[in-house]
Structure formats: C-alpha cells, structure tokens
Structure 1
Amino acid sequence: MHLHLDEEITFRRLEILLAFMETGNLTRAAEMLEISSVSVHRALHGLETGLRCALFRHEGRNLHPTEAAQALADVAREVLRTMSEGVRSTREVAGYSADRIRIGSLYSLTDRTVPKLVMGMKIRKPDIQTELVLGSNADLLQKLRDGAIDAVLMGTPENAADVESQPLFEDDIFFAAPVGSRYGGMDEIDLAVCANERFVTLSEGFVTYAGFVDAFRVAGFTPNVVMKTGDIFSLMNLVGGGVGYTLLPGRVGGIMPQKVQLVPLQKKYLMRQTISLNFLRTRERDPNLLALLSVCRSLSAELG
C-alpha cells in the first residue's frame, strides 16, 4: 500500500500546530518554540494548503481553531509521540544517544579509574544509566565491534583502524612476589635468574598477559606457568598464596593483598601499557560518547 502525504504537512508544522492549540495565541506559541509569530502563521497556513481545507476562522487578527484543527491536533499528538518513540528505539538499537551507556573495562581498572569515570558521567549526564562489562582486552574489543558495549577502557588495541582511542595513562609492569620471598628485598629484578621458578598468569587476551609473554621473550626462556586465571584479583591471591610469581601492572598497587609486593624489573624488561578509552569511529558523533570522551580527557589530566 502506497501512502502519500502532501509535502506541506511536516512534523515541524504539526509541532507548531500543537503549540498554537495549547497557547491559543500566535505570539505565545512563537515564544514557546523560540521562533517568530510570522513563522507560526506560515506553518499553520501551510497545513491548510496541504490538507486542502480550512483549519481556522479569522476574526480580525486572531485565529480560532475549527473542529478540523482539533481533529488534526489529536492525530498529530499520536503521530509525534509514535515518531519520538521510534527515533528513541532506533537509536537504542544502534547504540546512539540512548538513555544508557555500556562501558567495558579490565578488572584492574575497577579500583579508581572506573568509579571516577562513572561519577564524571553522572555529573555531565545525570539521566544516563551506566552499565559495566568486565573482561579481557580481546573479549572487550570483540564486544565493542559486535555492538554489545559502547566504549571500553583497556590497553590501546594494535592494528585497529576502526577504533578511536583516547589515552588515559601509561602503566609499567612489575614483578609480583609474596612478601618475605627472596626477591622482596631487591631494588630490581633480572628475570633471567628466575628460570627455575613457578609462575601464574592471566589468560590469553589480557593486555597484561601480552606484557608477560614479551618480558620473558627478552629474558630468553619460557616460564613454567603452573596456573592461568581469568581475573587479576584471583591472580594476586595466587601469588600471595605462594602458588607462583607473576608480572602485574603498577595500577594494582593500591588494591593488592598485604602479602603481595611489587618489585621493579630491570630496564631491559620494561613493558609499558597505554590504557585508553576506545570506541568505534562510526560512533564518534554520539552525544553520550562525546560526553564520556570529555570526562576521560579531564581524568587523563588528573591522572597526569
């Protein structure tokens, strides 16, 4: 079925009609919509032209709505309400300017970075609900591309031309050992002397795991990994329990168990992570993401 409306009948003119019906006056309708009285009059006349019937009676300079105008106003309210809901739901499906924002994050960023980011968003957009999704770099990047999350806090992805990244801070990797171990009193550690030690690590896909692999590649041996885990808090507890040593980013220093300590690595093993806010370039004009980006820039300056 082919539906056709005269081009004189537009959503904007229907909005103007409703404003006029509510105020009963050209001047007050114009003030409500922040346009001129002439624009209101032209819009109402345009509707009459498109409908090919009179909507108003002229009494001097005043316009009085007819029953036809009332009938059109009743329909206009429903049409505009339906269209407004359609725009909202379409944007939600696309993830654009919805009433919520889904942020992915590494577990290690939930201590300070994520709370500050969420509070910053609450200040800028108090009506926006924030959802948090935790995972590894690889999992979160895939969720971002699948549209399951809107933005992600993680290590800056390599070779990702479809992703826009806003750096937040850089973080060095440290040697993690139980308090009281023979490595605890060292000023720095040469991984080459740890060839006979047991290690625990995060699963593949985490940015810290990639740094772990790179560091031991420099050391010239494959570490004896006795256990892998999917979150950094479990990893720290494994170290504290004496299961094995590991490498951890400096940002976890404030949330580590008391029985775990971080020791600097020798400079040749220096592995630096760049943590950033990442989102798809196709979403770079999304108002919610622009607000989040602004919060991240402020947070980056604060983190220094």
Structure 2
Amino acid sequence: MIDEEITLKKLEVFLAYMRLHSLARAAEELGQSTVSVHRALHSLEEGLRVPLFRREGRNLAPLPAAFAFAKHAQRAVAETEDGIRKVRELSGFAGARLKIGSLYSLTLRCIPQLLMGLKLRRPELQIDLTLGSNQELLRSLDEGRLDAIVIGLQAPQDDAQLLAVPLFEDEVRLAAPLGSPYAGQTAVDLRDLRDEKFITLGGGFVTSDSFDHAFRQAGYVPETIMRVSDIFSLINLVGGGMGYSLLPGRVADFSTRIELIPLAARFGSHQTITLLLSRSRERDPNLLALAAECRMYGTRQH
C-alpha cells in the first residue's frame, strides 16, 4: 500500500532537487519556498520509511536509495503526465485539434477573422471547420462531435449547459434581384409582397426561422416556390429573378446581383451571432482563446 505521504507533487519536488542539487534552485523552479521544498523531501522520506539524503551544510546529499528511487519516480510522473494528456485529448480538452461548427453565411468575414485571430493566439492548434444549419450544428455540439459552434440565435440562449458569447446583431432584409420594383425603398412593407413568389432555406436554418417569423408579423403565408439547402444557391436563384427571399445583412457582399432592402420596423427580425460551447469545458485553454477572440470581434463591431 502506498503511504498517503507519497504524492505526485512531492515526487515532482524530489525529481527537481535531484536534477538541480540545490534547495534554492529547486524552490525557484517550482515557485515554492526553500522551506516548502525541504518539508516535501522530509515528508517523502517519512512516507517511504527510508532515508534519501544526508545533510551537508545547508544542502542535502542524495544517498544511493535516492538515486534508485529517482528512476521509478521519473517513470511514475511521466506515465501520469502522459495519461493526463491522453485523457484530455480524448475529451477534447487542450488537444492539438479544435472542431468548430458554423453557418455558411458567416464564411465571408466573421469566421476567417476569428480563425486567423485564434491561430495567432495558439499557432500550434489544428482547426477543423464544419458548416451546416443551426439544427445540425447544435446536435453535433450536444453529441460532442464539435467543440464549439458559431450560429445565429433569434432569442437568448436559455440552455444552462451552454456558455454563450454574443458577437454581433444582424438584421434580416428583403433579398431582391437588381432592378426590382422595390429597389431603393428605405423600408419595405411585407404586406405589399403578398402576390410575389419566394424562395427560402429548408428547416433547421436560423434564416428559415427568421423568414417564418417575419411573415407571421405580416399576417400571411407567402407563396414559396422553392426551398433550398444552402444559402449560396438561394442567393443565386434570387439574383436570377426566380423570386424574393429574406436574408441577413451579412450576405450582402456574396453577390452583386441582389439587393438587400430593409423591412418596415413591424416586420423586423434580428439574429444574434453567438459562440456556443459546453460549460463543462469553458476552462479549456483552446476554447478560452476562441471565446476571447469572439469577444474581441464583438467589440470591433460596435
């Protein structure tokens, strides 16, 4: 049975002294006082019930037993450190790879800036980026297949298990082909588009939810001629004159063939672009760096 006086922390102190042969230098390296180092070594001897050192002036001279024990202590500490590293990597904590999920609509400016900033903070980090709908990304985060996600929310996150870091607010607008009858309007009344045809994203996307919310405010269900699975196809279809849609302002620069026109205030719909991660992992150094970068990004948007 291992005596309770024998701890990994004391083994680390012992190994530092065996390497440096000085109480003062070992204390400096470990960030402790010389008294604490001496006390740890004496306590280790008591736990082993074997003397490891003899006193020589103010220092301690290792006995043969100390050299023999140092080999085993080194293996014990190294194996423990290796085990901790592997367990953390399996749990995604401070591993060499971070799996981030995001929306397609954030890939023009937001996500590239976040990832560049994150790489400056943690150059050794490998990043996997997964794009999908809100629904898909939330499910992957919940199942542990993603470490963090950046998505749009229509209402504040109320899941106590998740930490939310807001980045910026985005306004949903009418997406129209260039030269449409609504071009140049300062604000569009959705009730005036009752006879128009619309294209929207399929279910699970925050922009699809915003679309439904705006038309509930308008009091009617629009004629939806097509539902698509990605925002790029939707933008191209609108630009080609197939119909209208409602899209967030962040996609304005994705195409020069569409115009985004503000909606009248009563039909307004907003999305809060937000980083979400599990509260159980909020002290993970990689996720701390990502959260810090998101807060910096949010500050620059104001």
TM-score by length of 1: 0.90
> In the alignment, which of 273, 276, 282 is matched to residue 275 of structure 1?
273
Q: Kindly, what percent of the aligned residue pairs are identical?
A: 50
Aligned to 1:229: 228
The residue type equivalent to 1:31 in the other structure is: E
Deviation at residue 211 of structure 1 after TM alignment: 0.7
Deviation at residue 170 of structure 1 after TM alignment: 1.0
Provide the rounded CA distance (Å) in 1 between the counterparts of 2:279 and 2:124: 25
The answer as to 2:39 corresponding to 1:42 is: yes
Provide the rounded CA distance (Å) in 1 between the counterparts of 2:56 and 2:251: 76
Matches within 5 A, 1:1-304: 4-156=1-153, 159-254=158-253, 256-304=254-302
Provide the rounded CA distance (Å) in 1 between the counterparts of 2:103 and 2:48: 58
Provide the rounded CA distance (Å) in 2 between the counterparts of 1:166 and 1:99: 23
Tell me the secondary structure at the aligned position of residue 153 of structure 1. Answer: strand
Provide the rounded CA distance (Å) in 2 between the counterparts of 1:228 and 1:72: 70
Tell me the secondary structure at the aligned position of residue 196 of structure 1. Answer: coil
Aligned length: 300
Q: Deviations over 1:109-157 (max 9, x none)?
A: 1111112222322333333333322111111112222222222211236
Provide the rounded CA distance (Å) in 2 between the counterparts of 1:227 and 1:73: 72
For structure 2, which runs of at least 5 residues remain unmatched after alignment? none
Deviation at residue 56 of structure 1 after TM alignment: 2.5
Deviation at residue 61 of structure 1 after TM alignment: 4.0
The residue type equivalent to 1:263 in the other structure is: I
Provide the rounded CA distance (Å) in 2 between the counterparts of 1:229 and 1:269: 23
For structure 1, which runs of at least 5 residues remain unmatched after alignment? none
Deviation at residue 159 of structure 1 after TM alignment: 4.3
Provide the rounded CA distance (Å) in 1 between the counterparts of 2:198 and 2:227: 9
Provide the rounded CA distance (Å) in 1 between the counterparts of 2:89 and 2:212: 40
Tell me the secondary structure at the aligned position of residue 227 of structure 1. Answer: strand
Tell me the secondary structure at the aligned position of residue 169 of structure 2. Answer: strand
- Higher deviation after alignment, 94-103 or 257-266: 94-103
Q: Deviations over 1:197-242 (max 9, x none)?
A: 3222111111110010111222333222232222212221121223
Provide the rounded CA distance (Å) in 2 between the counterparts of 1:114 and 1:278: 14
Deviation at residue 166 of structure 1 after TM alignment: 2.1
Provide the rounded CA distance (Å) in 2 between the counterparts of 1:68 and 1:62: 17
What RMSD in Å do the two structures reach over aligned CA positions?
Answer: 2.1
Deviation at residue 104 of structure 1 after TM alignment: 1.7
Q: Deviations over 1:17-46 (max 9, x none)?
A: 111121122222222222222222222222
Provide the rounded CA distance (Å) in 2 between the counterparts of 1:299 and 1:60: 58
| C-alpha spacing 1:287/1:194, structure 2 compared with 1 (3 Å) | same
